[in-house]
A and B are shown apart, each in its own frame.
Chain A
Amino acid sequence: DIQMTQSPSSLSASVGDRVTITCRASQSISGYLNWYQHIPGKAPKLLIFTASSLQSGVPSRFSGSGSGTDFTLTISGLQPEDFATYYCQQSDSGPPTFGGGTRVDIK
């Protein structure tokens, strides 16, 4: 199975900050990388699919980039509702696999 590694595992940030989360795949996955947001008690939410496509209804402050093995999720101007855990997931080959998550909390 393809292993997905996220960094950092957690970070503290302030409202208005620019936040960057990295996801690395154990082998090339082309651009088949997706990002999710999870707030405890709520359903996980798809943010970005195929590396850089913004899911309908997701604010434009969220963006994704990368290809091959290295990918980035950027939040430009963190908002109070963005404090959550973020997961990457590969949809290239084998069983879909997820990163371990990055928790974003308030500084």
Chain B
Amino acid sequence: QLPLQESGPGLVKPSETLSLTCTVSGGYINSRSYYWGWIRHPPGKGLEWIGNIYYSGITYYNPSLKSRVTISVDSSKNQFSLKLSSVTAADTAVYYCARPISTPTTNWYFDLWGRGTLVTVSS
């Protein structure tokens, strides 16, 4: 059983909303020690941080995506989710869920990752 496992549709139509879920094994999604986050890797481009959520529900988003992103936690299911609205072909990417570790600079590195899931935006 993988510690983090992404799931969701592999194909989304342009202008629709991309929805992904990450299941956390071990039942510690409510831990005050941890944030949870999403990162993506478009083909031929670099890795891009999407956003993080703290167990309390406080969210942090990349300003470049903030207007279209919602990250939420469902502790009853040990899951957290990503919604990205109004998608275009530029949102085609491998999407990773990850566990961010906070730094003294109120920033993060990522000590645990899922294997990633490819989402293609196409009609």
Classify chain A's interface size.
20 to 34
Closest CB-CB distance, A85 to chain B, in whole Å?
10
Residues of A contacting B111 in the complex (Cβ-Cβ under 8 angstroms): 46, 49, 55
A99 within 8 A of partner (CB)? yes
Residues of B contacting A44 in the complex (Cβ-Cβ under 8 angstroms): 96, 98, 110, 113
In the bound complex, do residue B105 and residue A91 qualify as a contact, i.e. CB atoms below 8 Å apart?
Answer: yes
CA distance A89 to B37 in the complex (A): 15
Chain A interface, >50% SS class: loop
Residues of A contacting B62 in the complex (Cβ-Cβ under 8 angstroms): 95
In the bound complex, do residue B105 and residue A32 qualify as a contact, i.e. CB atoms below 8 Å apart?
Answer: yes
B-side interface residues toward A, CB under 8 Å?
Answer: 2, 4, 46-49, 62-64, 96, 98, 101, 103, 105, 107-116
A-side interface residues toward B, CB under 8 Å?
Answer: 30, 32, 34, 36, 41-46, 49-50, 55, 87, 89, 91-93, 95-101
